[in-house]
Amino acid sequence: MRESFLRAVGAATAVYGLAVAARPELLARPSGLVDGDGRVAPATAVALRPLAWRDAASGIAMLCAPRGGPALRTATAVRIAADFGDAALLGVTLPGRDRRRAAVAVSLAWGALSVAGLLMGDRRAGPRAGIAPDHRADRSATPGGP
């Protein structure tokens, strides 16, 4: 798991969530959830804000999770579930094929970033990362070794 990468994804997600909570049109316009004049209906803004707060909360959880424990993995799993859930839901409900495809692509891309962060190795591997080196295989360090 690459903690620094996951924390960066969390920070970006939190900033986006807070921005959409303040200005729902940031999500409504590219999603096609505006009227003919490009305005967001009050009911649409109300419906989008909980999604924005969910993104902000999950991003903050990723950003602030303690080092070295399961909290960051759990927060990231929640983020992945939200992104893949968005892809599934928005991919069948948004108006217009192009908007649906774009929403699926963006949601899957953000989810994939989080998956990648979980799968990446920690660049600090070794004693500094809390992992003791394994000297059993190093025969040259033992008397009588090769």
Weakly modelled stretches of the chain, pLDDT under 50:
126-140, 142, 145-146
pTM of the model: 0.79
pLDDT digits (tens, 9 = 90+) for 87-121: 999 999 999 999 999 999 999 999 999 999 999 98
Contact (CB, 8 A) for 32 and 99: yes
